[in-house]
Amino acid sequence: MPNPHKKLGHPQSRLSGALSLMMAQATVLLFGYATHLWIGNALGAAAYGIYGVVLSIQTIFGMILTLGVPVAISRFTARNQEHAQNILKRGLKIQLIAALSISAFILLISPLLSRLLGDTTLTPLISFVALVIFTQAFYPMYVQFFSGLHRFNRQAVLTVIYATVKLIGALSLIYFIGVYGAFAGFAIGGLAAAAVGWYWSKGQGGTKPLRLPIKSFLAFASLYVLTLAGLQLLISLDLFMVKALLADNTQAGYYNAAVTLSRIPYMLLMALGFVLLPSISQLTKPGAAHHQAAVFIRDTIRYLIMLIVPSVTLAAATSKPLLRLFFFSDQYIEAAPALTILMIGLGSLSFYLLLTNIVSGAGRPKLALYTTFGMLLISGLLGTILIPRLGLIGAAWQTTIAALIGLTILSVYTFRTFKIPLPFKSTINILIATAIAVAPTYLLKPTRLTLFPIYLLALVLFITVLLLLKEISAADRQRLASLHPRLSFVAPPAN
């Protein structure tokens, strides 16, 4: 174990930090899907449906503790690094009170939640999740503390420790106590990562005393976490409504399979938010130049379009082989049409999530909050109409339509507020490259075994077309080369 008092070196660059965190988040997803696969295949669609519904409840309430006070710690630490230790200590006290309150609240309302979902047998499992959420409350504090210090590698390592220990715990305990074991893994992972984070945080950041502005600290934390919790509720509302309106655990299991895969872009790009928010906070603090923030946001949005559009389109076009690949059978193939639609919806929400981090990092979180709750109302209304008529397809459309509306509103606000020109040329180039890259999936008819080679071919085609269209610039190549010495070959030739 490294010496906690040893300096961590210079703050990491935003680009390499984003890459580190995306790799860590990919590890979280990969290890998380191992649990999904075990339950989905070993226990069947009905048990998998129950797991998905209760996991969504855990995620929504857990997000309050994961992205409320911890993200406020990141933002305030980024702006006041000389006071970092004091900010962390005050934040931990607030987090303890919040964790106790939320866990007690879930215990109290677990019978009500079970009745709303039309299955009173869920009450003991929801009550157990309340205890799990408490044990997970503290490791995010250290994750976001390192984010505020721009020590993104440490942030990434903590995330991987959490995911690894969670997987080992879950797979070990599922054998003995079934679905309860899967949730117990979250608790074990959270405690392990918190212990390492506490050790690493000693002596890091400034120790100057600071009277933390509690009112503005809590105001930011509450507005931001309400937005993120609202988004999590939005991407779970369709599953809840499938469970309640169709009253069929097997149908809920099929839909949970589609939801699980469609969330991959969203969960991966959530890691970028942990870089964007403190970076924007630093670039927009009093006295900072507006031009720097505008350029950073412009470049970020362009790269997001380049990442999200082709990946979502490719996944939507290959929904059937994706389901076969992840679940090793045709058991969940009924979810393929819903997955195709959901990929568009969750791709739009991925973009919306990162725009939320941009406007929140600039200290303007209210519009994102209001827009998110408007999207929830739209989704709920659409669900009551579409699910009884169209089943799983209707549920997928309720989320996708709401996501597209919200993305349009926040995009217009972001471009106008930061005076950023619309990236028309880049968007058209990326759409052309995406169309050419996805074309082989219709000609070659991918199977579970050929899916990854076809994805690799699509990637090569996408990059080649962007190069031919001169969308990838010398500056882009230089940024990529700067990530690691082994990537120096992509750098443009020196003049």
Predicted confidence at residue 227, as pLDDT, reads: 78
State the Cα–Cα distance between residues 212 and 215, nearest whole angstrom: 9
CA geometry: angle at 398 spanning 249 and 238, to 5°?
A: 30
Predicted confidence at residue 382, as pLDDT, reads: 95
State the Cα–Cα distance between residues 197 and 137, nearest whole angstrom: 13
Predicted confidence at residue 39, as pLDDT, reads: 66
State the Cα–Cα distance between residues 274 and 74, nearest whole angstrom: 8
Whether the model clears a pTM of 0.85, i.e. scores above it, the answer is no
Predicted confidence at residue 7, as pLDDT, reads: 42
In this structure, are residues 182 and 32 in contact, taking their beta carbons and an 8 Å threshold?
Answer: no
Predicted confidence at residue 320, as pLDDT, reads: 86
Provide the terminal-to-terminal Cα distance of the chain, rounded to the nearest Å.
45
pLDDT < 70: residue spans in the chain: 1-45, 67, 79, 205-207, 209-221, 224, 268-293, 328-329, 360-365, 479-480, 482-490, 494-495
